[in-house]
A and B are shown apart, each in its own frame.
Chain A
Amino acid sequence: MKILVGYKRVVDFNVRIQVKPDGTGVMTDGVKLSANPFDDIALEEALRLREKGIATEVVVVGIGPADLTAHLRNGLAMGANRAIHVVTADEVQPLTAARVLLKLVEKEQPELVILGKQAIDDDANQTGQMLAALWDRPQATFASKVEIAAGKATVTREVDAGLETIEAELPAVITTDLRLNEPRFIKLPDIMKAKSKPIDSIEFGSLGVEAHDHLKTTHYAAPPKRSKGVMVKDAAELVAVLKQKGLL
């Protein structure tokens, strides 16, 4: 079977983001960009399913500007068979991303779509669920364990109450949680090999996706700073301070 994997490029998780003083955005010029960590986990899971003989082809999908191609090459170097690049210079919100993915699903007919549970830039946690709804297929979000057999996925999900297991008939959408797996590192020879793997470029405009998004971001602000704390010298002083504040 074929697996489609969403592969978003985001500001690297180690970068401490700065809000522009005029409130128009965050500073992204010259900032290190990387794969969204949850998407690396998604790709790793797809590759493992291929290594087990369950999947035959793994396709990474990116939506973004022309230079996103270099990012998709990383996905190919990690092991994806090929890539699809939906080219757009505009910001893409989750509903639009889901509509784009649905078009690709209709074209590619995958049996599984694996996405990260959220992107660490907009922290929306929506795209997978929205795709599943538009596609009218099952969703298994926050997956920490995936087993595929007999036309269905048995997925353990990390929910607030503990671990929930559900069964989803394929085709289905799975979104990955952190503990699903440990993504592999890219090796140098694989970077060379990735150069000859195909990347399909599709102009966003040619997909016929309604790009109208209903959310407008009007202002960016830095989070409120906490006031400077105090250091105490020992346990007795700590307890005394907390008792004084009425916390203990």
Chain B
Amino acid sequence: MSKILVVAEHLNGKLNSSTARAVSAAAAVKGDSIDVLVLADSVDAIAAEAAKIDGVGKVLTIARAENAHPLAAVLAPQVAKAAAGYSHVFFPSTTFGKDVAPRVAALLGVSQVSDVMSVEGAHSFKRPIYAGNAIVTVEANPAHAVVATIRTASWPAAGSRGDSAAVEALAVDAALPAHTRFVELQQGKSDRPDLQGAGKVVSGGRGVGSKENFEVIYKLADKIGAAVGASRAAVDAGYVPNELQVGQTGKIIAPELYMAFGISGAIQHLTGIKDAGTIVAINKDGEAPIFEIADIGLVGDLFKLIPEIEQALG
């Protein structure tokens, strides 16, 4: 009885991997079908990528010039219309999904489940509260559509399939507001792996000391093919741009390997890395809270240890 609509996230004509993660959560509902909705000005390339995701029944597209940039006020009325007939509408819990999903939920007159970590049943979900210090089970009313955002760190990206799902253009009759306009997007320029999808992350905190010193973190990350992250302290001090922040108010990540250099481990930061496979902490202070959750700890000066690590790597 469950028909699930997953709203695709994309940037610069490419599908974001968060979409395939939301499809994994949709698959866990064990419903009848999973469709992906692509809203863009030019949909073809994005829809073709979405059609390759395993488990997707069909890809619906709404191509409009107004959809060139993901403005919640513009997208939400279209998603709300497209949601007719669906029992679930899922978004990735990224800044995109967090921006748009509640607007859709309010238009549909339903509550929203934020940051779904696990699916317990078609209307039962687990999600974190209090910065991940408690996990609650919430039940949504089966009489209404479930609007939810999917915590990307809790779900693997669904694989790709040999063939492609059908792609259909969808016509929705939604009046779009002109009161919100896109001006510009300044992207942090980086050739490194994306922080949220990376298998390895090397992260620096206040202990790194300066923007210049962060170069050693970047160097090590490049050597092992890792993404770079940072604590709030490092971002606030201006060592790195804020899109690198990991934690309750930044990104929630779950790489296989997380290496924290000069990060004390405030609750706020730990929330962002709790689901990492192996956490390595390197800190001068042997009493730092980060060691309480680290799988491997090393007490010492990061500036001395990083070159030694590089040397040991060969």
Chain B interface main SS type: mixed
Q: CA of A247 to CA of B291 in the docked complex: distance in angstroms?
A: 19
Kindly state whether residue B128 has any CB partner on chain A within 8 Å: yes
Query: Across the interface, which residues of B come within 8 angstroms of A226, CB to CB?
Result: 274, 279, 293, 295
Residue of A nearest to B189 (CB): A162
Any chain B CB within 8 A of the CB of A94?
yes
Interface: A142 (CB within 8 A) = yes
Q: Are B280 and A242 in contact (CB under 8 A)?
A: yes
B296 lies within 8 A of A242 (CB): yes
Does A66 sit at the interface, judged by CB under 8 A? no
Q: Are B106 and A169 in contact (CB under 8 A)?
A: no
Closest to A126 in B: B102
Contacts of B68 in A (CB 8 A): none
Closest chain A residue, CB of each to CB of B294: A229
> Taking the complex as formed, is B99 at the interface, i.e. its CB lies under 8 A from any CB of chain A?
yes
Whole-angstrom CA separation of A213 from B113 in the bound complex: 12
A window 1-50: CB within 8 A of B: 11, 13, 16-17, 19, 26
The reply on B299 being an interface residue by CB < 8 A is yes
- Binary CB contact string for chain B from 62 to 95 against chain A (1 if under 8 A, 0 otherwise): 0000000001110010000000000000000011
Q: By the criterion of a CB under 8 Å from any partner CB, how many residues of chain B are at the interface?
A: 88
Cβ of B137 and Cβ of A231 under 8 Å apart? no
Which of A95, A128, A162, A238 makes the CB contact (< 8 A) with B309? Answer: A238
Give min CB distance, A33 to chain B, whole Å.
13
Q: A139-B180, A235-B305 are in contact. Are A132 and B111 (CB under 8 A)?
A: no
Instruction: Report whether A19 and B296 are in contact in the complex, using a CB–CB cutoff of 8 Å.
Output: no
Contact between chains at B134 and A129 (CB < 8 Å): no
Is the C-beta of B136 less than 8 angstroms from some C-beta in chain A?
yes
> What residues of chain B lie closer than 8 Å to A64, measured between beta carbons?
none
CB-based contact B140/A178 at 8 Å? no
CB distance from A133 to the nearest CB of B (A): 4
Interface assignment of B1: CB less than 8 Å from any CB of chain A: no
Q: How many angstroms from the CA of A127 to the CA of B132 in the assembled complex?
A: 20
Asked if B248 CB lies within 8 Å of chain A CBs, one says yes
Binary per-residue interface labels of chain A (149-161) against chain B in the complex, 1 for a CB within 8 Å, 0 otherwise: 0000010011111
Interface of A is mostly: mixed
A223-B134 contact in complex given A126-B105, A160-B95, A232-B297, C-beta closer than 8 Å = yes
* Cβ-neighbour of A217 out of B106, B137, B182 (below 8 A): B137
Q: Is B269 positioned at the interface, with any CB of A under 8 Å from its CB?
A: no
A220 CB contacts on chain B under 8 angstroms? 134-136
Most chain A beta-carbon contacts within 10 A, residue among B101, B134, B184, B278: B134
Q: Which of B110, B243, B268 contacts A161 (CB 8 A)?
A: B243
Q: Is the CB of B106 within 8 A of A168?
A: no
A245 to B258, CA, bound (A): 13
CB distance from B252 to the nearest CB of A (A): 10
CB distance from A102 to the nearest CB of B (A): 10
Complex Cα spacing A13 to B135, Å? 17
Compute the total of residue contacts between A and B using a CB distance below 8 Å.
Answer: 251
Q: Are A129 and B130 in contact (CB under 8 A)?
A: no
Q: Would you call B309 and A26 a contact (CB within 8 A)?
A: no
B231 adjacent to chain A (CB < 8 Å): no
Is there a chain B Cβ closer than 8 Å to A196's Cβ? no
Name the CB-closest residue of B to A163: B186
Q: Which residue of B lies closest to A248 (CB)?
A: B224
A100 to chain B, nearest CB (A): 13
| A236–B274 CA distance with the chains assembled, in angstroms | 26
Interface residues on A, range: 35 or more
Q: From A94, A139, A236, name the one whose CB has the most chain B CB atoms within 10 angstroms.
A: A139
A98 at the interface (CB under 8 A from B): yes
Give CA–CA (A139, B279) in the complex, Å. 37
> Is B58 positioned at the interface, with any CB of A under 8 Å from its CB?
no
Let me know if A137 and B179 touch, CB within 8 A. Answer: yes
Within 8 A of B (CB), among A111-155: 120-134, 136-142, 144, 154
A139→B249 CA distance, assembly (Å): 19
Q: Which A residues touch B200, using CB under 8 A?
A: 247
* Interchain residue pairs with CB less than 8 A apart (29): A16-B133, A95-B111, A95-B112, A123-B128, A126-B105, A129-B72, A129-B101, A133-B76, A137-B179, A141-B72, A141-B98, A144-B242, A160-B95, A160-B243, A162-B243, A165-B186, A168-B180, A213-B111, A214-B110, A214-B111, A216-B138, A218-B137, A219-B136, A223-B133, A230-B295, A236-B308, A236-B312, A238-B282, A240-B312
Which residues of B are interface residues toward A (Cβ below 8 A)? 11, 71-73, 76, 94-96, 98-107, 110-115, 124, 128-141, 144, 177, 179-188, 196, 200, 224, 232, 235-236, 241-243, 248-249, 251, 256-257, 267-268, 274, 277-280, 282, 291, 293-300, 305, 308-309, 311-313
Of all A-B residue pairs in the complex, the 10 with the closest CB atoms, nearest first, are A235-B308, A129-B102, A133-B106, A126-B102, A130-B106, A239-B312, A214-B141, A138-B180, A165-B183, A219-B137
Which residues of A are in contact with B by a Cβ distance under 8 Å?
A: 11, 13, 16-17, 19, 26, 93-95, 98, 120-134, 136-142, 144, 154, 157-169, 172, 177-179, 213-223, 226-227, 229-236, 238-242, 245, 247-248
